[in-house]
Amino acid sequence: MADNELELVDKAAKRKKLILIGAAVLLLVIAAGGYFLLSGDSSAPEGGVEEGPVPTGSPESTAISGTALYVQMPRPFVFNVAGSNRDRLVQIRVQIMVRGDANQALALRHIPLIEGTLLATFSAANADELITTTGKEELKNRALIDLQNAMLDVVGTVVVAEILFTGFVMQ
């Protein structure tokens, strides 16, 4: 009888110990997750954005400040590009990143301008360049600059902060 009582006490003590260890691990995971979510990244984004303060009234400030929102282009861009051996057919799916609700509304209002500018930039590319990752990055950067200039001419602000290729097929 005494052995049964000791076994029950041991099992209860082990169960308590496991519950306490589990709670401590869960608390550490929650604390680590909270730290990473709240700490943020203070480094400047790469690619085309200059370091240093941007004056609040400048057109560039509207493109790099605010919450990041994404605008999906309604249809993929399909075009032919010339190559050294043969012409190739390319299909690119694009989303543009804007900062803030106002820029998102502007981007949605000017979808035809965005599509036309991107298609003109994409179709001027060379198939031999698009085969490489570097060539794709250069095309993306060229398209971003062309699109920012077009939006600056029409709207008066840069609007687009980044261009993202969400699909890229070349045949």
CB 10 within 8 A of CB 2: no
Residue 64: pLDDT band with limits 50, 70, 90: low
Domains: count for the chain: 2
DSSP secondary structure, the chain, as one string: -HHHHHHHHHHHHHHHHHHHHHHHHHHHHHHHHHHHHHH---SPPSSSPPSS---TTSHHHHHHSS-EEEEE-SS-EEEEEB-SS--EEEEEEEEEEEESHHHHHHHHHTHHHHHHHHHHHHHTSBHHHHTSHHHHHHHHHHHHHHHHHHHHHHTSS--EEEEEEEEEEE-
pLDDT of residue 30: 82
Question: Average pLDDT for residues 93-121, to the nearest whole number?
Answer: 94
pLDDT of residue 109: 94
Same-domain pairing of 162 and 80: yes
Q: Is residue 131 part of a domain?
A: yes
Domain that holds residue 35: 1-40
Residue 154: pLDDT band with limits 50, 70, 90: very high
Q: Is residue 14 part of a domain?
A: yes
Same-domain pairing of 29 and 65: no
Q: What is the pTM of this model?
A: 0.60
Q: Is residue 27 part of a domain?
A: yes
pLDDT at 1 over 90: no
Q: Is residue 83 part of a domain?
A: yes
pLDDT of residue 52: 38
Same-domain pairing of 28 and 80: no
Same-domain pairing of 80 and 151: yes
133-154 and 111-123 are packed helices; what angle lies between their axes, rounded to 10 degrees? 140
Same-domain pairing of 27 and 66: no
CA atoms within 13 A on the CB side of 12: 6
Same-domain pairing of 78 and 30: no
Cα–Cα distance for residue pair 141/154, rounded to 1 Å: 20
Tokens of 119: 């298609």
Question: Average pLDDT for residues 112-140, to the nearest whole number?
Answer: 93
Residue of 117, 36, 106 lying closest to 71 (CA atoms): 106
CATH number for 97:
3.30.479.30
Average pLDDT, the chain: 82
Same-domain pairing of 79 and 163: yes
Same-domain pairing of 76 and 135: yes
Q: Is residue 47 part of a domain?
A: no
Tell me the C-alpha to C-alpha distance, in Å, between residue 8 and each of 16, 107, 145.
12, 68, 73
Same-domain pairing of 159 and 123: yes
Same-domain pairing of 32 and 65: no
Mean pLDDT is lowest, of 6-10, 68-72, 78-82, for 6-10
Cα–Cα distance for residue pair 73/111, rounded to 1 Å: 8
Mean pLDDT is lowest, of 2-11, 70-79, 137-146, for 2-11
pLDDT at 104 over 80: yes
Q: Is residue 28 part of a domain?
A: yes
Q: Is residue 54 part of a domain?
A: no
